Structure 1
Amino acid sequence: MTSVQEQAPAKQSWRRCPGCGELNYGKKLARALGVCPECGYHHRLTAAERIEQLTDTDSFEQLSTHVLATDVLGFTDSQPYPDRLANARAATELDDAVVCGTGRIGGMPLALAVMDFRFMGGSLGAAVGELITRTAEDAVDRGIPLLIVSASGGARMQEGVLALMQMAKISQALASLRDAGLLSISLITDPTYGGVAASYATNCDVLVIEKGARMGFAGPRVIEQTIRERLPKDFQTADFLLAHGQVDTVQHRQDLRGWLASLLAATRPATGPLPMRPELELVRDADRKNEIVRDPEHLPTVDAWESVGAARQTSRPTTLEYLELAFDGFVELHGDRLAADCPSIVAGFARLRGRPVAVIGHQKGHQTAELISRNFGMPQPEGYRKALRVMRLADRLGIPIVTIVDTPGAFPGKDAEEHGQSIAIAENILGMFELRTPVVTVVTGEGGSGGALALAVANRVLMFERAIYSVITPEGCSAILWGEATSAPAAARALGITARRLLELGVVDGVLPEPPDSDPTDAPVMAAALGAAVARTLTELDQAADRDLIRDRRARFRAFGGAGVLISEVRKEPVE
């Protein structure tokens, strides 16, 4: 167990802030949810305070089961373990370091297990493991999500290897939650270390960390003593963990309840269609009736090089704009859980006409600074790993997936190669063939090579009228086959990258008309077309006589190229 010296402050009129040293008046600090008004330091909360802050008023019902730890090993250090337990129970009025039960957040039910650091440093022992496991099992029985709030130094040393086994015991309960298609959420608070960090605090589907919290397997002091190096000041902090792709979001305590409510709303089962938002009513009736063009003869012939220019316009709507205009309640998730968060791919959950959907898309930008910060929509391997992680979560929850493609291609840099760019793209392509939930892709701008295909292995692929989809950029093709880049227009025409040609080839299943040339980037109209087309396509997939979505997806891609090859079979005589 990692030793953390600071204990939760006792209730008193004044508290000195560990962050800035200022004295905080107790009642004022309580009104600020325990956050220092001077420096923003998040004081530790008791389990009761945390439950009161997060759940709807009077909605929490504590688990009726009482579980008490016993001294199986006869452990004594500076005092016998039974004495330590008795002192902790007297000081906290708790049976052990976790309070469990059910409640509501934003009106939505969930099971909660909330740790209390005051009880022996929030250490994980057999009683804590049993209570959290029973809470997870209760969530499965009720068919509701689970929220675990961690605050712990790690496994309880006084219970030896039995405490170690609780890491696996709780993890198997989380596996049952996954099998049941239920969401698990980990709220990481300060501090979360050792066996808790290396099990249920990071085994949940979504990881949210409170601002200012720290998490790690070993404490900074132990690491410095082991490796004999000074660590960065922000090491193991919330922002450090977000930058290194290990958590989905960092939230200020004042925003936690609202963020959790939004996540629960974005992932709950559909309750019926939502009315179209007023700004989307701008679409004309004729556009609604013809929202998806399925016959290439109904599309105008557009010069391929002109389509390249249109698809690359920085004024075209981005994934975040489509999310704002066509979807409701988007909750973004971050990180690949390995190394970093790639800003070139946006991923998370939202609602479309009342239906929960996972949305994953390339993100470019409009202005130079944003384009640079988003790497011009060219993802690193971490972006594809984040995308696949969110897609697999949606698959477990039974939520349809919508991908929005707009990229020149995957980033070809040195770091990307070192981090396994080819492997990341390959894993996405293969992984999408294993998804049991509907997948719909819309190519909204550039569909560049494998960087686009890694998000486009879908049951249905749509594209906008002036978008493009290609094996390589026209400039790259020109440089390789023509020997110079000036033949890019000819290469574009030869590659067959326009919406009409791709519809003829069956690479896309439908085309979405765009506003006239005089107003090529009318974001509300394009967002309305995208939202309507995706909703309609998902409904068609729902109503399909054959609902084997995996077989449908594999058959779709199995058929490509059949008309472009000659196949002759030679019958072999059986070997005697």
Structure 2
Amino acid sequence: MTTTTSPPATGAEWVKCSGCARPLYSRRLARDLHVCHECGHHQRLTARARIAQLVDEGSFEEFAPVDVPHDPLGFTDTTPYPDRLERARRDTGEHEGTVSGTAALEGNPLVLLVMDFRFMGGSMGSATGEAVAAAAEEAVSRRLPLVLVTASGGARMQEGALSLLQMARTSQALALVAEAGLLSVCVLTDPTYGGVTASFASLGQVLVAESGASVGFAGRRVIQQTVPQELPEQFQKAEYLLEHGLVDRVESRERLRPLLAKLLKLHRPAAPAGGIPAPRRSGTTTSAVVAPSAGGAAPDAWDVVRAARHPERPTTLDYLDLAFDDFVELHGDRAHGDDPAIVAGVASLAGRPVVVVGHQKGHDTRELVARNFGMPHPEGYRKAMRLFAHAERTGMPLVTLVDTPGAYPGVAAEERGQSIAIAEAIARSSRLRVPVVSVVTGEGGSGGALALATGDRMLLMRNAFFSVISPEGCAAILWRDAQAAPQAARALRVTAADLVGLGVADGVVPEPEGGAHADPEAAAGLLGSSVAEALDELCALDVDELLRRRSARLRGMGSGRGVA
């Protein structure tokens, strides 16, 4: 909490930062969105102040306060529960611990609910449960995204088991929003704990933690009193959660509004199952995908392998920057960690919102090491599956960009279920009810690549390759000589032309003269056009036909049967 004092000489109002305890001039603090300019600490906001910061001025239309029975237990500790409620209403000016309504954010309509920690510590009782459920129902009824801003110490003990059951009530509410194919975003602010964290606050399709926020199930003091163990210094802080894959993003207060606006824009309008319709692109009528023989004789397989591994070849992040618009990266598998070898998020391609998932390598030793050379751990594939599910719920097509020597084969990966994660990713993408287009942009190594390359279309860039094993690995096993890698590459038939001929790939994305690394912008333009063209065709299909064709494609692999 902040305290205010007025220096007698000037009469100006000052507040003390609750982070560093320095005195701050209140008008400057307000201009800085109540973030300390000295230490960066985010002061707690009232629900009304939060709404004013987030939404367009004058756009908020408040829902009527919920009417639920008060004091169902006849509870009294040192003070009767009705007296506590009355005091909280008098002190805060609010009827309960939430404020909700409809609003617009940079012109994007939404349903918004904000919790106020001042009202009995933001504790969740029946009134809060009803407010969350009602907000979710309004979102579904009006086909609007739902944004929830949380601040809570947990369940309201004065309502006993009825308070506990609000966890089920609110969890179901978020599940219904997801089933309706609508976006839900939970903004976790300081503090968010207990039954709120263990229910609706963790069920948003996108979880954003405000910088420095403390978020967890049990608080530090409870943990230390219950379990005799030392806690890390940054334990349960927003940044700690991001590192452990538990939230999608950590944002400073000034960046919350632009981020939410971009997310709302990318998810508008809500799509029916089967994809977000988008106008066909005007302009060129020639196919962006070329025949394997286009551009002269097919390159030698070993030359392709070397080109695919060129250190300056564009990465997934390069293509996201050059070929896509409005990319918002989402992090974490919500269970263990955030794997930097997999990049995932939502973006726009040729005016169509899409979900994008891709392997990420790097251009120098430092980045390659940080990204584990593009070799994912199980949490990377589980992050990918989380985005697969997001694509299906929201009706967005899925685009995957493949560039990996293979899945990481280390001890930790095995212990966390590497094979299971790959198998589940392949199975999940094979049945997604939205179009799936995969582009092998560099290396396509084994099952680690196939986990992101199972869908309706597989395209290979001209200087990319796709193989059951690396040429070096094949040479070492079968030739018993790694130096035979060029011979193995040719025997494995790994090039785009080979794979189209085998029926594994569906087309070849051309590259500029000298390869993608020679002109990344031109390469990105060719990739973007090829994917957009494929999506134009696939998004025109209804879901049943899409799944039928995909099933036939996969069923016929290696059997000599064509797609019906």
TM-score tier after normalising by the smaller chain length: over 0.9
Contact in 2 for aligned 1:69/1:96 (Cα 8 Å)? no
- Map 1:48-63 to 2 at 5 A: 48-63=48-63
Query: How far is 1:414 from its partner?
Result: 1.3
Greater Cα shift, 390-399 or 259-268: 259-268
- Find the counterpart in structure 1 of residue 188 from structure 2: 188
User: Aligned match of 2:485 in 484, 488, 509?
Assistant: 488
- 1:299–1:500 Cα contact (<8 Å) kept: no
SS of equivalent residue, structure 2 residue 469 = coil
* Cα root mean square deviation, aligned: 1.9
Q: Does 1:541 align with 2:538?
A: yes
SS across alignment from 1:216: coil
Residue in 1 aligned with 2:305?
Answer: 308
Which residue of 379, 383, 405 corresponds with 1:382? 379
Corresponding residue for 2:346? Answer: 349
Q: Deviations over 1:73-119 (max 9, x none)?
A: 01011111011000000000111100010101111011011000000
Q: 1:25 to 1:341 in 2, by over 3 A?
A: same
Query: How far did residue 274 of structure 1 move?
Result: 10
* More deviation, 8-17/339-348: 8-17
Per-residue deviation, residues 103-151 of structure 1 (Å, max 9, x unmatched): 0111101101100000000000001111111111000000000001000
Tell whether 2:407 aligns with 1:410: yes
Q: Distance in 2 between matches of 1:519 and 1:331?
A: 24
Amino acid at match of 2:496: A
Give the CA deviation at 1:19. 1.5
Alignment-derived partner of residue 552 in structure 1: 549
Alpha carbons of structure 1 residues 92 and 546: separation in structure 2 relative to 1, 3 Å: closer
- Quote the residue 2:9 is aligned against: none
Mapped to 2, the partners of 1:9 and 1:388 lie a distance apart of 47
Q: Which SS does the other structure have where 1:372 is aligned?
A: helix
Q: Distance in 1 between matches of 2:38 and 2:506?
A: 57
Whether contact under 8 Å (1:398, 1:437) holds in the other structure is yes
Deviation for aligned residue 1:337: 0.2
Structure 2 distance, partners of 1:169, 1:299, is 64
Matches within 5 A, 1:304-453: 304-453=301-450
Equivalent residue for 1:455, pick from 452, 456, 459: 452
Q: Does 1:475 pair with 2:453? A: no
Is 1:158 aligned with 2:158?
A: yes
User: What is the deviation of 1:9?
Assistant: 5.2
Residue 66 (structure 1) shift = 3.6
**Corresponding position of 1:71:** 71
Deviation at 1:23, TM superposition (A): 0.6
User: SS of the counterpart of 1:40?
Assistant: coil
Tell me the residue number matched to 1:568.
Answer: none
The verdict on how the C-alpha distance between 1:262 and 1:472 changes in structure 2, with shifts beyond 3 A counting, is same
In 1: Cα distance, 2:308 partner to 2:136 partner: 48
Q: Quick one: percent identity of the two aligned structures?
A: 55
The answer to whether the 8 A contact 2:314-2:516 is kept is no
Q: Which residue of 1 is the match for residue 263 of structure 2? A: 263
Residue 221 (structure 1) shift:
0.9
1:294: how far off?
3.7
Q: Mind listing any 5+ residue stretches in structure 1 that lack a counterpart?
A: 1-6, 565-576
Structure 2 vs 1, CA of residues 89 and 357 (structure 1 numbering), >3 Å: closer, same or farther? same
Q: CA deviation at 1:300?
A: 2.3
1:328 partner amino acid: D
> CA shift at 1:331, angstroms?
0.4
Corresponding residue for residue 567 of structure 1: none
Whether 2:145 is the aligned partner of 1:148: answer no
Q: How does 1:84-95 map to 2 (within 5 A)?
A: 84-95=84-95
Report how far residue 289 of structure 1 moved: 3.0
Deviation at 1:550, TM superposition (A): 2.1
Give the direction of change, closer, same or farther, for the CA distance of 1:268–1:175 in structure 2 (3 Å limit).
Answer: same
Which runs of 5 or more residues in structure 2 are unaligned? 7-12, 270-275
Aligned-partner Cα distance in 1 for 2:506–2:232: 51
- Following the alignment from structure 2 to structure 1, what is the Cα–Cα distance between the partners of residues 450 and 352? 25
For 2:325 and 2:420, the matched residues in 1 are separated by: 33
SS at match of 2:186: strand
Moved more, 481-490 or 493-502: 481-490
Pair 257,275 (structure 1): closer, same or farther in 2 beyond 3 Å: farther
- Equivalenced residue count is 549
1:197 aligns with 2:194: no
Structure 1 position 415, deviation (Å) = 1.1
Instruction: Please tell me whether the aligned partners of residues 352 and 531 of structure 1 are also in contact (alpha carbons under 8 angstroms).
Output: yes
Q: Which residue of 2 aligns with 1:521?
A: 518
Kept in 2, the 8 Å contact 1:187–1:209? The answer is yes
What amino acid does structure 2 have at the position aligned with 1:50? R
Counterpart position of 2:169: 169
Q: What one-letter code is carried by the residue in structure 1 that aligns with 2:405?
A: P
Deviation for aligned residue 1:271: 8.5
Instruction: Return 18-27 or 91-100, whichever deviates more.
Output: 18-27
Q: Residue 85 of structure 1 aligns to a residue in which SS?
A: helix
The question of whether the paired residues in 1 share the 8 Å contact of 2:475 and 2:481 is answered with: yes
The alignment partner of 2:518 has SS state of: coil
Deviation at 1:64, TM superposition (A): 2.6
Q: Take 1:228 and 1:243, find their aligned partners in 2: how far apart are those partners?
A: 24
Kept in 1, the 8 Å contact 2:434–2:543? The answer is no
Amino acid at match of 2:408: F
Question: What SS does the aligned partner of 1:49 have?
Answer: helix
Following superposition, the deviation at residue 290 of structure 1 comes to 4.7
**Aligned twin of 2:273:** none
- Give the superposition deviation at 1:265: 1.4
Query: Taking structure 1 as reference, are residues 478 and 519 closer, same or farther at Cα in structure 2, changes over 3 Å only?
Result: closer
Q: In the TM superposition, what is the alpha-carbon distance from 1:302 to its structure 2 partner?
A: 1.4
Name the CA distance, whole Å, in 2 between partners of 1:59 and 1:471: 56
> Structure 1's 404 and 67: CA in aligned 2 closer, same or farther, altered over 3 A?
same
Pair 328,318 (structure 1): closer, same or farther in 2 beyond 3 Å: same
The 1:131–1:223 alpha-carbon spacing in structure 2 relative to 1, beyond 3 Å, is same
Q: Is the 8 Å Cα contact of residues 399 and 437 (structure 2) preserved in structure 1?
A: yes
